[in-house]
Homo-oligomer: A and B are copies of this chain.
Amino acid sequence: MSFAHPNEQIGILLRGVVDVVEREELLARLTRSADRNEPLTVMAGFDPSAPDLHLGHTVLLRKMRQFQELGHKVIFLIGDFTATVGDPSGHDGLHRQRPSLTSDQVEQFSRTYLQQVSRILDPGNTRVEHNSSWLKDLPLSNLLSLASHIPVKRLASWHEPQTYDHLCVDRFLYPLLQAYDSIHLKVDIQIGGQDQVQNLLVVRELMAAAGQEPQCVLVTQLLEGTDATLCEGKFVGRKMSKTFDNTIGITESPEKIQSKVLALNDALIWRYFELLTDCSMPEISAFKMDVEAGKRSMQSVKEYLAQDLIRMYHS
């Protein structure tokens, strides 16, 4: 196969992306990939403790699919290692204060996850990895080496004083473990949500410290939940999350999806179109102008969005 022109790829890949670190590096990688006719390695990590996918998750998964469609290699990384740390069957009677999952639970969650993910990603072209396979045997000396590159002060500055007061040292190790994932997998591009940006910048530095070319980072938008509204041109509301009970699950019934979409605040619709569907940006603009000009009802556009989502996840 041959790859599309890097500028054409960039056009597709930057839709719904709030930040790229660094854009020039991304272009350089895509150019090199096209020149050598070699795919890039693109990775995103997922927490196995939340196996029911909702539309918020699909923003990132759809970005992965775009990379697949452009011919790149996509790794779906299940972060099972930290989820199972402190399994009470461990050595020395050590135990975690926070609840954690057993290996069996993680295995079961991973299966559910992958079943749902296969509605978005091309399963035959998706490499699934569990980070326990390299982290459980990671020599301590490697971790100490990584740790010696990251100032404590920097990690501390990410936290509000109230949170910081209760923070334990393990939390300062997670960014290092994430870095090791990328080092181990020799990742070219990692995709993450806005809540991951600080971690992913540390990962870049540690890859450089390990003598690797630092991965590019694509930061996708967080999708607003169904309870979001627009106030003075800005969205007011929280991200879509089970915690806030404002999700649309991809395994929910067509009727449920339809009714939830119809109840959305009008202003959210264009954003949902951009982040969740294959409608081109010109098509979305045309819809919007039609509604503003009174040529189309908002109701009909919402129905169109609902049908599009139902078709994607129920066919």
Contact = CB atoms under 8 A, between A and B. Distances in A.
Contact of A93 (B136, B148, B173, B210): B210
A271 interface: no
A95 B172 contact: no
Instruction: Work out how many copies of this chain go into the complex.
Output: 2
Contact of A148 (B97, B156, B177, B210): B97
Interface residues of A, number: 53
Interface string A131-169: 000011111111111111111110110000000111111
A96 interface: yes
Contacts of A171: 152
A145 B210 contact: no
B142 A164 contact: no
A155 B169 contact: yes
Contacts of A82: 144
A177 B144 CA distance: 11
A168 B140 contact: no
Contacts of A94: 142, 145-146, 209-211
B156 A85 contact: no
A168 B142 contact: no
A143 B87 CA distance: 13
A104 interface: no
A90 interface: yes
A121 to B, nearest CB: 29
Contacts of A166: 151
A46 B149 CA distance: 25
Given A147-B168, A151-B168, A155-B169, 6 more contacts: A81-B140, A86-B148, A91-B139, A95-B209, A136-B139, A147-B173
Interface of A: 81-82, 84-87, 90-98, 135-153, 155-156, 164-173, 176-177, 183, 209-212
